[in-house]
Chains A and B, each alone.
Chain A
């Protein structure tokens, strides 16, 4: 149920991190429209399947952008289709850790390789929330979930290190409780020419409530699980990024950025050279 559509029959649990991410996305799109004189209809949001993908239906403070709420794990190839069809559009993905890093993992490499010019906002809650609490790729080793009753026997995927290794050209990391900072990162990600991922830890209050682990609790002696980037950190230096990601905590900010031709730039360079040929002209070449 949303303010504009009472028929819509989905809602996030109270305290869900995705509320903060939604707010950040709304702010970032609004700021982008102001800066580049675009309209909401110039954005396409491709949503994964999971709690997070519902963000595309839940815009409250802005006009509805275009959206595709497709099939599980395939937001990247759908986004590739949109962007390669019309490079003028601003294309964003909203998906969760299950959708993006488990079933959808096979699509990250090819898009990184192509440097597809889109922005993926990944809401990582370390669990499958919509299906009620199974383990996800980012669930930690040993954690008991409904599908790992004796504790998870596989280690957690390290998404940021993976993105870096596989060639994503803009990697940012944050968490859902700071929507202003997150919005600024998303804006920067959208301005980056190439494949940008903003990986957001967005806790699930029902199945994997990690707010305390993230923010810390002095009284209980829990150190914060997040940390700011060190002074003088240079996100264009891959060696520094590699070093940074050895820290098991969640960095807040832009981890890595590199400039490389995008798919549409590379394709445009070829397509610009070739002349269109009509079916009639091609047919004539088969004459005997």
Chain B
């Protein structure tokens, strides 16, 4: 039987990224489901980069654990990744860099020489893609179609590039045939009968935010959030839109406060260190009740940490970013579709409760490209903030919770104050005013319990509850556990705070909630325990995502320990 799921890993330098993208796009347009992953050092060029692409006949939720095919562009890449190759897997290596003994499991190609042969030194990617296609039985016509579509750009040399790339594909495929080594043939695709898009998370977040009416964005470059700034700079344009690169994250957050106060729908994106710099501004937005959204694309921390590796270690910092009594709303999308609808909801939440909302993404989502069904943006119900339209002399902060917001230029001038303030926004330290203000600010969170959640096997007394980007590998692990007959339920939501209505009752009713998460402290389970949920974490802090198989093993062990009465929860 033909194989339905292939995992190809590229190890080398910068060139691996374009090779991955070419293969991903070609396979997706042929009707396969693809899912890419990339991890690299924080530098402009060079250094060890690796990427992975999973090509499957059915939808997949993770990048896959062990590659079937390793493409090693240099010896360093080979040495570091060969231990992960699954038994029976094949290695294609760059003959110009190093040579392996003829072991029947690997073959070399002088990629650059073949590219030169077709008269296009930049066609190395197509040589490699041709060889891979041959190894896994991907139709070469799919690659040619992708090549033609991609390089028909209305330039005089289009034809020359396309034909040399096609020739490179043929040479790569020929080299693979000549090796006499063949992996497996991939099953024919089952082309989806629905419209699809191929997208990555930063673009998805941008589209979701714009669909919800975003019209003001400022930001400062920081890995891995820069992509959102760059995306916005060429798209959030035209009348009544503003996008600008400012001079620091401190400027970003404070400019958002000013712009939102003046009536804009505002957002910025940053990563850990930038979030730290925004801390005081987020407190001001909470205190003065200013709607805004900050996207925090998590990377490894603390300090500069691991700028280009993945981690879920900012949850505490996102939910309690500022000093004082503050607890911010958190939406943490776990897949690309949720990036679109989560970003839209974050803007809606901010306008609805008049305060800051954090959208948590992470490196592993940010560097992922995947084909997903065309999202239906008409599902997004755009919410506008309540605007005051009465007389001057307005008591903006008098009500027990929500009150309409005056906009400069209109009636009801007031002072948005970061000091504790009375109903006009004037500073006061009276005890009863601080009590009123604190209760008002927290009570507004009750307006945000309209999130939804997924629940599978609701009768189970033990559930797993991943969050954010761990959703994908955890979902695959859950399927393994079900196949193994482990009695476990699934509970998932991207709305971490406040939780959807009813979610806490369900979680509190469980004997054990297992939280797989990429941090040392077990941050989400700790927050759940604060809400009297018996939660325990399974942690990993390697800078890489979970492998579904290994995660399933660890969960199964924890379930067994629990059954034996050995888990503290």
Q: Does B188 contact A (CB under 8 A)?
A: no
A239 at the interface (CB under 8 A from B): no
In the complex the two chains form, is B281's CB within 8 Å of A74's CB? yes
Q: Is there an interface contact between A286 and B199, defined as CB atoms closer than 8 Å? A: yes
Q: Say yes or no: is A280 at the interface (Cβ < 8 Å to chain B).
A: yes
In the docked arrangement, what's the CA distance between A63 and B430, Å? 25
Instruction: Report A248-283 residues with CB < 8 Å from chain B CB.
Output: 267, 270-271, 274-280, 282-283
Which secondary structure dominates chain B's binding surface? mixed
With a cutoff of 8 Å between Cβ atoms, the chain A residues found around residue B112 in the complex are none
Kindly specify which of A38-46, A150-158, A181-189, A201-209 makes contact with the partner chain: A38-46
The reply to whether B238 and A271 form a contact with Cβ atoms under 8 Å apart is yes
User: B194-211: contact bitstring with A at CB < 8 Å (1 yes, 0 no)?
Assistant: 011111000100111011
The distance in angstroms between the C-alpha atoms of A177 and B337, with both chains bound, is 62
Contact assessment for A88 and B235 in the assembled complex, using a CB-CB cutoff below 8 Å: no
Contact B255 A81 (CB under 8 A): yes
> When the two chains form their complex, are residues B207 and A63 in contact, meaning their CB atoms are under 8 A apart?
no
Q: Are B416 and A89 in contact (CB under 8 A)?
A: no
Report which of A7, A71, A282 forms a contact with B428, defined as CB distance below 8 A. Answer: A7
Q: Is A56 an interface residue (CB 8 A)?
A: yes
**Are B413 and A65 in contact, CB atoms less than 8 angstroms apart?**
yes
Across the interface, A71 reaches (CB within 8 A) one of B196, B248, B418, namely B418
Interface size counted on chain A using CB atoms at 8 A: 57
B408 touches A89 (CB 8 A): yes
Residues of B in contact (CB 8 Å), total 74
B237 touching A271, Cβ below 8 Å: yes
Assess whether B305 is interfacial by the CB under 8 Å rule.
no
Complex CA gap A205/B431 in Å reads 30
Instruction: Given A81-B254, A85-B262, A271-B239, decide whether A288 and B425 contact each other with a Cβ distance below 8 A.
Output: no
Residue in B closest to A73 when the chains form the complex, CB atoms: B250
Instruction: Name the distance in Å between B259's Cβ and chain A's nearest Cβ.
Output: 4
Taken together as a complex, chains A and B put the C-alpha atoms of A79 and B416 apart, in Å, by 13
A72's nearest neighbour on chain B, judged by CB, is B280
Q: A8-B428, A69-B417, A85-B259 are in contact. Are A107 and B251 (CB under 8 A)?
A: yes
B415 A288 Cβ-Cβ under 8 A: no
Residue among A57, A74, A89, A282 making CB contact with B210, cutoff 8 Å: A282
In the complex, A161 has a CB within 8 A of chain B: no
A25 to chain B, nearest CB (A): 15
B222-255 Cβ-contact flags toward A at 8 Å (1 or 0): 0000000000000101111110101110111011
Is A41 within 8 A of B195, CB to CB?
A: no
In the complex, what residues of A have CB within 8 A of residue B417's CB? Answer: 68-69
Q: By CB atoms of chain B within 10 A, which of A79, A81, A280 has the most?
A: A81
Query: Which residues of chain B are within 8 angstroms of A280 by Cβ–Cβ distance?
Result: 211, 377
Complex interface residues of chain A between 29 and 76 (CB less than 8 A to chain B): 40-44, 46, 49, 54, 56-57, 63-71, 74
Distance between Cα atoms of A68 and B412 in the complex (Å): 14
Residues 84-108 (chain A) with a chain B CB within 8 angstroms:
84-86, 88-89, 106-107
Q: A54-B427, A288-B198 known; A41 and B410 CB under 8 Å?
A: yes
Instruction: State in angstroms the CA–CA spacing of A65 and B280 once bound together.
Output: 25
- Which residues of A are found within 8 Å of B40, using beta-carbon distances? none
Q: Which chain B residues lie closer than 8 Å to A79 at the CB level?
A: 258
Question: Which A residues lie within 8 Å of B198 (CB)?
Answer: 286, 288
Q: Is the interface of A mostly helix, strand, loop or mixed?
A: mixed
Give Cα distance in the complex from A271 to B208, angstroms: 22
A275-B237, A279-B207, A282-B210 known; A77-B258 Cβ under 8 A: yes
Given A78-B257, A81-B255, A288-B198, residue A276 in contact with residue B408 (CB < 8 A): no
Could you say which of A49, A63, A82, A110 has the most chain B C-beta atoms within 10 Å of its C-beta? A82
Chain A contacts for B433, CB-based, 8 A: 7
Q: Which of A9, A67, A84, A109 is B415 in contact with, Cβ under 8 Å?
A: A67
B424 adjacent to chain A (CB < 8 Å): yes
Task: Give the contacting residue for A81; candidates B235, B258, B429; CB below 8 A.
Answer: B258
Instruction: Find out whether the CB atom of B262 lies under 8 angstroms from the CB atom of A288.
Output: no
In the complex, the answer to whether A88 meets B409 with C-beta atoms within 8 Å is yes
CA distance A43 to B415 in the complex (A): 12
List A contacts of B251 (CB < 8 A): 77, 80, 107, 110
- Interface assignment of B29: CB less than 8 Å from any CB of chain A: yes
CB atoms of B197 and A42 under 8 A apart:
no
**B238–A275 CB distance below 8 A:** yes
- With CB as the reference atom, state the residue of chain B lying closest to A285: B197
Say if the beta carbon of A233 comes within 8 Å of chain B: no
**A10 contact set on B, CB distance < 8 A:** 427
Q: By the criterion CB–CB under 8 Å, are B409 and A41 in contact?
A: yes
B492 contacts the other chain (CB 8 A): no
Asked if residues B242 and A267 are in contact (CB atoms below 8 Å), the reply is yes
Most buried by B among A44, A77, A282: A77
A3 within 8 A of B: no
In angstroms, Cα B241 to Cα A86, docked, is 11
B413-446 near A? 1/0 per residue, CB < 8 Å: 1111111001011111110010000000000000
Question: Which of B29, B199, B392, B422 sits near A64, CB closer than 8 Å?
Answer: B392
Give the interface of A toward B (CB within 8 A). Answer: 2, 5, 7-10, 40-44, 46, 49, 54, 56-57, 63-71, 74, 77-86, 88-89, 106-107, 109-110, 267, 270-271, 274-280, 282-283, 286-288
10 interchain residue pairs of minimum CB distance: A81-B258, A276-B238, A274-B237, A81-B255, A77-B254, A85-B259, A279-B211, A286-B197, A85-B262, A81-B259
**Could you list 13 examples of A-B contacts with CB < 8 Å?**
A7-B430, A66-B413, A69-B417, A69-B425, A70-B257, A77-B251, A78-B255, A84-B255, A85-B242, A106-B247, A275-B238, A276-B239, A283-B377
> 20 new A-B pairs (CB below 8 Å) besides A81-B258, A274-B238, A279-B207?
A43-B408, A49-B418, A63-B392, A65-B413, A68-B258, A68-B261, A68-B288, A68-B415, A69-B427, A74-B281, A77-B255, A79-B258, A81-B254, A81-B255, A81-B259, A85-B259, A279-B208, A279-B211, A282-B206, A288-B371
Using a CB–CB distance below 8 Å, which chain B residues touch chain A?
Answer: 25, 28-29, 195-199, 203, 206-208, 210-211, 216, 218, 235, 237-242, 244, 246-248, 250-252, 254-264, 266, 280-281, 283-284, 288, 371, 374-375, 377, 392, 406, 408-419, 422, 424-430, 433
